[in-house]
Amino acid sequence: MIPSFGSGELIIFGILVIIGIILIMVLAAVIHFILPIIAAVIVWLFTGNLIYAGVAFLAVAILQLFVR
């Protein structure tokens, strides 16, 4: 027998699938930017300047894109 699902269950299932896909995409982006984040934190800890940390983040992120 094929089970029947209510419309409420299907809506909740669809919402959970969309949330899961969004979480996977966010996690992939965070994993991709681990090295630039680490570089920015190290520069910020040494200098205390957020501008330098931002420049370091951008530089490492751009270098990482060109290397791949």
Encode pLDDT of 30-50 as tens digits.
888 899 999 999 999 999 999
| pLDDT range class, residue 6, cuts 50, 70, 90 | confident
Separation between Cα atoms, residue 58 and residue 63, nearest integer Å:
8
- Residue 42: the pLDDT is 97
- Residue 5: the pLDDT is 74
- Residue 68: the pLDDT is 74
Q: Would you kindly state where each structural domain of the chain is located, as residue ranges? A: 31-68
Tell me what the mean pLDDT of segment 4-32 comes to.
90
Burial pattern 34-64, b for ≥16 Cβ within 10 A else e, equals: eebeebbeebbeeeeeeeebeebbeebbeee
Query: pTM score, two decimals?
Result: 0.63
- Residue 67: the pLDDT is 87
Separation between Cα atoms, residue 56 and residue 44, nearest integer Å:
9
Place of tokens 């680490």: 38
Separation between Cα atoms, residue 43 and residue 50, nearest integer Å:
9
